[in-house]
């Protein structure tokens, strides 16, 4: 399902980037679990027991997920989804959402910076554009369908025409979690080169999660 566009007009815009094996990811639970335990301290009587129960029963939850979803995507998303579903039953959707928002954003930012090689490479606009294409081919967004719309020295635009993250959350009855995943993009892209590169989707309502047919991603360089 790795689907960067093959349109010849777009291939002239996008650089030729060699395919790579998916990078070995870090265990994000080492980041998100301590955060969840802290945030749950005022919500459930024994946070550690709550988390342990979720981890011990997540395998049963996975069996309820449609097998059309890639196993790696399910492995990455199943536990956060299961924690959220169980937490909603305990504290209600509003509180559960805010708790998971903080955990997902924090873990997602760490994952993003590793996937986009923010330490290994010099942070430049060119590298950011290159890494966006690479990550769609081999990284955490490789299950989404990406098309390059425009690329110049000062502007980069793509569109996502299929988002398996949203399809998965919707299939499991928690579509409200997709925008949290989208927020990782807002936080990460706008902190990569703060003020020098600005990321936007063109305002509210331009995401698949909002009901739009596609997600618009635009980066503008200002330095």
Residue range 11-29: mean pLDDT, rounded: 50
Q: What is the number of other CB atoms lying within 10 angstroms of the CB of residue 146?
A: 23
Phi, psi of 216, rounded to the nearest 5 degrees: -100, 130
Distance, CA of 87 to CA of 1 (rounded, Å):
31
Say which CATH class 26-221 falls into: alpha beta
> Which band of pLDDT confidence, cut at 50, 70 and 90, is reported for residue 145?
very high
- Given phi > 0 = left and psi -120 to 50 = alpha, else beta, which region is 23? beta
Q: Report which secondary-structure segment, H or E, holds 147.
A: strand 145-151
Residue range 77-96: mean pLDDT, rounded: 97
Please give the pLDDT value at position 163: 97
Q: What is the dihedral of CA 106, 111, 116, 122, to 10 degrees?
A: 60
Name the H helices within 24-124: 29-40, 47-62, 71-91, 93-115
Each residue's pLDDT tens digit, 146-165: 999 999 999 999 999 999 99
């Amino acid at each position: 399902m790795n689907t960067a566009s093959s349109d010849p007009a777009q291939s002239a815009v996008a650089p030729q980037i060699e395919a790579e094996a998916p990078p070995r990811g870090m265990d994000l639970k080492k980041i998100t679990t301590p955060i969840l335990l802290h945030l749950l301290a005022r919500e459930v009587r024994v946070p550690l027991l709550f988390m342990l129960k979720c981890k011990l029963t997540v395998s049963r939850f996975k069996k309820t997920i449609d097998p059309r979803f890639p196993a790696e995507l399910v492995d990455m998303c199943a536990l956060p989804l299961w924690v959220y579903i169980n937490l909603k039953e305990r504290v209600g959707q509003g509180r559960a959402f805010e708790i998971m928002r903080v955990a997902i954003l924090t873990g997602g930012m760490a994952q993003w910076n590793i996937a986009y090689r923010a330490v290994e490479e010099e942070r430049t606009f060119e590298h950011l554009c290159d890494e966006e294409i690479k990550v769609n081919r081999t990284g955490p967004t490789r299950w989404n369908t990406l098309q390059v719309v425009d690329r110049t020295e000062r502007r980069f635009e793509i569109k996502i025409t299929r988002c398996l993250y949203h399809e998965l959350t919707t299939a499991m009855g928690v579509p409200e979690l997709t925008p949290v995943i989208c927020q990782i993009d807002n936080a990460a892209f706008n902190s990569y080169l703060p003020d020098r590169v600005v990321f936007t989707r063109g305002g509210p309502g331009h995401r698949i999660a909002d009901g739009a047919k596609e997600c618009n991603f635009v980066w503008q360089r200002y330095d």
